[in-house]
Chains A and B, each alone.
Chain A
């Protein structure tokens, strides 16, 4: 009897604490005095060595007595680790972020930087992805975007003009039929195991569907999920699968890096890739030859659309809200996005750097095409969505492919999630 009472006490005890304290920990300060700690997933890469070296040298010139410690975290665990650090209120002073949802979800833990970075505003591009509620929370290092890459060698083998890819969706589908007939290659390399394929599709194909006004409204946050254009994009996602444009087993193919491997191997003629880091012009060029990698604008689905290159700030460094000396940390962020450092990053890591003063014309036709499009480019459609909506969209996109949800139903769920977030 006594033992039972003891157990009940132990089990009921938590209720006495009902709803006090917080799961995310108190907001307390952290970080060392004359050491700045930086978290990222880049500094461990051999290709980023010269970039980090340049940035450190630049910072050492300004603050010779401050030590900078780079802690490279594994990328697939990065936001988990960062989340834990943020909850404990103790972590790095400066941290790397992907632009968009990942950053916007964590602005509580970040310092607004617009006052410190005023001088860099002109030189760097891609600020929108690091801006939330009118404040800038990180300085862009690379630009990330979603060009449609195509394999020029396959175009030639199919008797198509590799310099004049289709500019309307119907012509594009006709070209794909010829490509598959002549070379056996699929039209699109697509991997949606992680549920990211739909994000690339939305941003890659969307500019050919939405009118410029619809596009701008979407980015500005006035998203009408019931608009015919938006519905058309998701219908195309389903149609492309049903008419056999994609490789087999889309939902069990990982985008990183099986999808890109299919394109690398010449087994698909097109892929909606990235501009920086992986799955981009440099990777593809290594397998297919830089001269065989082309970049085409989104084929027109709606004649009123005016396709532009979808891109944003890719990755950027932000400053933790709990850092002891914000100005010092902001100075480090400036060094990490200095022209010299970014030049090294572009050259060694194959990233389209955020610095518009870097000359990138010597790296093949795909790079030239991307850089030429930068001035007219717009933020990518999916980057405007919250992490939660993106996660839901990933799941729904898999359901759309397997036919277990209709486009209308998927869009109404997305609209609900988007409005809640």
Chain B
């Protein structure tokens, strides 16, 4: 922070000091009038942006937080203190949804490694890499509803996935009906559906990689794993960080469609995520205040995750 603050402060000091001769020449009226309009100008210029953020972002946010301290149903409109939060943290469904957020964070490396590895193979020109490049991106253009419907059929108990398992002599897996499996199945489908976008980002990162470094490493006799570990990964550190951040945001905010179509939060409530829980309490159960409380908790979680990511990015930026 201190390093960036110094250049900013210099012009401010010049303005607040004695008026420079140049300014006096340009202004026909008194110095006082000029300085007032000049002082107001920046506020006027940022006003639209501030208003939009204030009216459409911060005010609704404040309202939502406020509503989380009011009651539902018969207690509609009454201040109930922390009751909603007590209910929330007593609700096994909400606890399950928060646990699933933790699971998503744990699965994040997998979600980043898959497009990273595949992009590496394409970059190293494995046979057919041109075909793979477009094939990998294809699922990214499908809507979650369509993908969910397709995988509902594929992963049905008597569907093709289990038929395949049966053919190789393995017992059937109840992909979407077993609470220990369902969340992994949905996350797997989500990764399959979205890794194309991360792959493109990785390929763009590879384009900036210095090919002569890899050639030099090869000449020195480095094996492929060593090239990946010591040349490619360090060279792509910025890209990897970007993909980590966008993938995390994608997993936390855009799984709703898949969940809705594939499991509906079940089986046994094992695939609830906070946003699904919020939707469920607000619309299905008619408890908007409880949903507001859940939203507030989700906001807090996202704030922590977001700030942590910004901190990581900033530190990495300084290293460059």
Q: Which B residues lie within 8 Å of A17 (CB)?
A: 62-63, 65-66
* B205 on interface, CB distance cutoff 8 Å: no
Cβ–Cβ contact A404 & B268, under 8 A: yes
Decide if B62 touches A24 in the complex (CB within 8 Å): no
- Point out the residues of chain B lying under 8 angstroms from A394, CB to CB: 266
B-contact bits for A366-410, CB 8 A (1 contact / 0 none): 000000000000000000000110010011001100101000000
B14 CB within 8 Å of chain A: no
Contact of B63 among A21, A79, A86, A391 (CB under 8 A): A21
A13-57 residues with Cβ-Cβ distance < 8 A to B are 13-15, 17-24, 26
Chain-A contact segment, one of B189-197, B240-248, B278-286: B278-286
A13 to B59, CA, bound (A): 9
Partner of B285, one of A108, A251, A388, A404: A388
Binary A-proximity of B55-70 (CB < 8 A = 1, otherwise 0): 0001001110111111
A253 close to B157 (CB less than 8 A): yes
Q: Is A106 an interface residue (CB 8 A)?
A: yes
Q: B282 contacts which chain A residues (CB < 8 A)?
A: 80, 83
A248 at the interface (CB under 8 A from B): yes
Which residues of the partner chain B approach A13 to less than 8 Å between Cβ atoms?
58, 62
Q: Does A250 reach chain B (CB closer than 8 Å)?
A: yes
For residue A350, CB closer than 8 A to chain B, the reply is: no
A194 CA to B170 CA in the complex, in Å? 27
Give the chain A neighbours of B266 by CB distance below 8 A.
193-195, 251, 394-395, 398
Asked whether any CB of chain A lies closer than 8 Å to the CB of B235, the reply is no
User: In chain B, what residue has the closest Cβ to A19?
Assistant: B79
Which of A19, A253, A402 has a CB less than 8 Å from the CB of B179?
A402
**Once the chains are docked, how many angstroms separate the CA of A26 from the CA of B70?**
13
What chain B residues lie within 8 Å of A159 (beta carbons)? none
Name B79's contact: one of A18, A105, A248, A252 (CB within 8 Å): A18
**B303 closest partner in A (C-beta):** A11
Q: Which residues of the partner chain A approach B72 to less than 8 Å between Cβ atoms?
A: 23-24
Q: Are A248 and B286 closer than 8 Å at their CB atoms?
A: no
Main secondary structure on chain A at its contact with chain B?
helix
Return chain A residues, CB-CB under 8 Å to B291: 23
Known A-B contacts A14-B65, A252-B176, A398-B268; the reply to A23 vs B76 at CB < 8 A is yes
Give A15 to B156 CA distance when docked, in angstroms: 48
A395 touches B268 (CB 8 A): yes
CB contact between A18 and one of B69, B73, B76, B155 (< 8 Å): that residue:
B69
A and B contact pairs by CB, cutoff 8 A, 23 listed:
A14-B63, A14-B66, A15-B65, A18-B69, A19-B80, A20-B66, A21-B77, A22-B78, A23-B67, A23-B288, A23-B289, A80-B284, A83-B286, A86-B286, A105-B285, A194-B266, A249-B174, A251-B178, A251-B268, A252-B175, A387-B285, A395-B266, A402-B268
Which of A's residues lie within 8 Å of B, judged by CB?
Answer: 10, 13-15, 17-24, 26, 79-81, 83-84, 86-87, 105-106, 108, 193-195, 248-253, 258, 387-388, 391, 394-395, 398-399, 402, 404
